[in-house]
Amino acid sequence: MARWAYVNGRYVPHALAAVHIEDRGFQFADGVYEVVTVVDGRFTDLDGHLARLQRSLDELRMAAPVSPRVLVFVMGELVRRNGLRNGAVYLQVTRGVAPRDFRFPPAGTPPTLVMTTRRLARFAAPAQLADGVRVITIPDIRWGRRDIKTVGLLPQVLGKQRAADAGAFEAWMIDPDWTVTEGCSSNAWIVTGAGVLVTREPSARILNGVTRRTLLRLARAQGIAVEERPFTVEEAYGAREAFLSSATTFALPVTRIDGRPVGDGRPGPVTLALREAYLADAAREAGRPA
């Protein structure tokens, strides 16, 4: 089936989709993005992702390219054209095309809006669920406003490559005080020996995951003790369970950190229960059809 992308008002064959070389996303990483997962033909956590997109735009004083209604319509149309039942829609918004100048382009310069889809046959390989995944820890070299979902992802590119080189799925980034901030494209969680679920509190130091927020709500509803606070690498090494979360992985068990087994080295019951709860909640919520 032909694969379509959406670029500034037009659906174009993926192979021909392009933006101008003076696009500010290309020149300055002056843009934001969002990722919305489609499960069984329905958007997951749609409101959360749209709200965060608006927040990211506001924080960078960027105009929304279209209204939320139009955005959702285009997302649905792209999903339909690409025959996507399970996968993700990627939205990129930049401050548009203008002669290269650090300062904002003149008011009225149209933002660039690009959408693509990615098919995911399943959201985790059976082995990833059965055995969990490995993470390594690396210094967090990102800027001071990690709460904005910007396209400035070079530190994450370097981190993910280091993880791949080490045979790991993800890298957990650490601040100079040895606390874990988050993964390169996911939030980081542990379950302590006392059974407390711990993930870092939202602040400028992490991206507040939409999946993270939903998982917190579900954990509290199940009566699980939750602490939103920083945790150190040492604490993670000694945790009973660990996992990571994102729109496209949901809650994915982490069974090795820097090569050391977490707990008994197997995916833990709290992690697996939360993954189930997330998928059940998504099905029950019956998110807006894509």
Site residues for ligand PLP per CB under 6 A: 35, 182, 185-187, 207, 209-212, 245-247
Q: How far is the CB of 246 from ligand PLP (least distance, A)?
A: 4
C-alpha distances (whole Å) from 37 to each of 63, 84, 107, 242 are 24, 11, 33, 23
Which residue, 5 or 53, has its beta carbon nearer to ligand PLP? 53
Which residue, 84 or 210, has its beta carbon nearer to ligand PLP? 210
Element (H, E) at 37: strand 31-39
Backbone angles phi and psi of 48, in degrees to 5? -60, -40
Q: Which two tokens stand for residue 19?
A: 């933006």
Place of tokens 């002056």: 30
Q: Answer whether 133's CB lies under 8 Å from 252's CB.
A: yes
Q: How far is the CB of 49 from ligand PLP (least distance, A)?
A: 7
Q: How far is the CB of 248 from ligand PLP (least distance, A)?
A: 7
Among 212, 200, 175, smallest CA distance to 52 is for 212
Residue 158: how many CA atoms within 13 Å on its side-chain side? Answer: 9
Which residue, 83 or 143, has its beta carbon nearer to ligand PLP? 143
Q: How far is the CB of 21 from ligand PLP (least distance, A)?
A: 26
Catalytically annotated residues: 149
Which residue, 118 or 266, has its beta carbon nearer to ligand PLP? 118
